[in-house]
């Protein structure tokens, strides 16, 4: 039986992935959705201000991306409206700089004007106050609305023909069929295939965790 050169190349690629111990990438085009509720990332110094010197985060649940986890700790955030949003989950591990990620709906309650940004890009973003059991942190910048983005491993990116920093359009066949434009692709060896959206996007499209979307042709 004749086997095409393309088929042989695909078989070799899969064999190499197995040897390296990498997860086989999906080839059916489906990208699982992860819905992100409002949450907080803390620096070590801000963690100690809020909870006390020497305090360490308490992991309670591993998240979809390796090394990331939800913590037992919850905090209150306050904006210019002085209307607090309580019980905002802290995610670990600690970061170099603290960051608060909210939805557009949350911004109306808080009366803040956060930019839509890639997580970690907080320069000149909105100020926010974080209240903890032992102290208060006033962030001059650090409040954002996270952009829609897709996490991929290098092997998965190769299957999709994409690179880190690319942008794609996404078709969503939920209860309210729609298309999301300019979705950022983020590629890293520690990433696992998943698209992240906030609760506003998920509710508008009528989807939730585990739903799948596809890259528009």
Write the pLDDT tens digit of every residue in 61-83.
999 898 999 999 999 999 999 99
Q: Are residues 140 and 42 in the same domain?
A: yes
pLDDT confidence tier of residue 9, bands split at 50, 70 and 90? low
pLDDT band at 21 (very low <50, low <70, confident <90, very high): very low
Together in a domain, 30 and 61? no
List the domain range (segments joined by +) for residue 117. Answer: 37-146
* Number of domains, the chain: 2
Say if residue 124 is in the same domain as residue 174: no
The confidence score (pLDDT) of residue 19 equals: 46
Confirm whether 207 is domain-assigned: yes
pLDDT digits (tens, 9 = 90+) for 123-138: 999 999 999 999 999 9
Range with the lowest mean pLDDT among 4-8, 150-154, 203-207, 211-215? 4-8
pTM value? 0.83
pLDDT at 18: 46
Residue 136 belongs to some domain of the structure: yes
In this predicted structure, what is the pLDDT of residue 217? 78
Question: Given this model, what pLDDT does residue 210 score?
Answer: 87
Cα–Cα nearest to 150, from 128, 172, 124, 176 = 172
**Over residues 185-214, mean pLDDT:** 95
Q: Does 34 sit behind a cis peptide bond, omega within 30 degrees of 0 on the bond before it?
A: no
* Residues forming a β-bridge with 32: 212
Q: Residues 54, 142: one domain?
A: yes
Domain check: are 67 and 115 in the same one?
A: yes
Judge if 86 and 110 occupy the same domain: yes
């Amino acid at each position: 039986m004749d086997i095409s050169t393309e088929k042989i190349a695909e078989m070799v690629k899969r064999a190499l992935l197995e040897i390296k111990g990498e997860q086989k990438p999906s080839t059916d085009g489906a990208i699982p959705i992860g819905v992100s509720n409002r949450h907080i990332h803390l620096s070590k110094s801000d963690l100690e201000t809020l909870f006390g010197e020497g305090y360490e985060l308490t992991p309670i649940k591993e998240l979809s991306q390796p090394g990331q986890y939800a913590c037992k700790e919850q905090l209150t955030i306050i904006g210019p409206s002085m209307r607090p949003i309580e019980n905002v989950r802290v995610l670990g591990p600690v970061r170099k700089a603290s960051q608060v990620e909210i939805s557009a709906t949350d911004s109306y309650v808080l009366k803040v004007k956060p930019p839509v940004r890639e997580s970690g890009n907080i320069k000149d973003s909105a100020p926010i106050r974080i209240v903890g059991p032992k102290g208060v942190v006033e962030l001059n910048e650090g409040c954002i609305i996270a952009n829609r983005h897709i996490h991929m491993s290098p092997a998965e990116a190769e299957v999709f023909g994409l690179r880190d920093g690319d942008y794609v359009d996404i078709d969503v066949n939920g209860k309210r069929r729609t298309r999301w434009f300019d979705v950022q692709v983020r590629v890293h060896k520690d990433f696992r295939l998943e698209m992240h959206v906030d609760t506003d996007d998920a509710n508008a499209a009528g989807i939730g965790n585990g739903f799948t979307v596809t890259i528009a042709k």
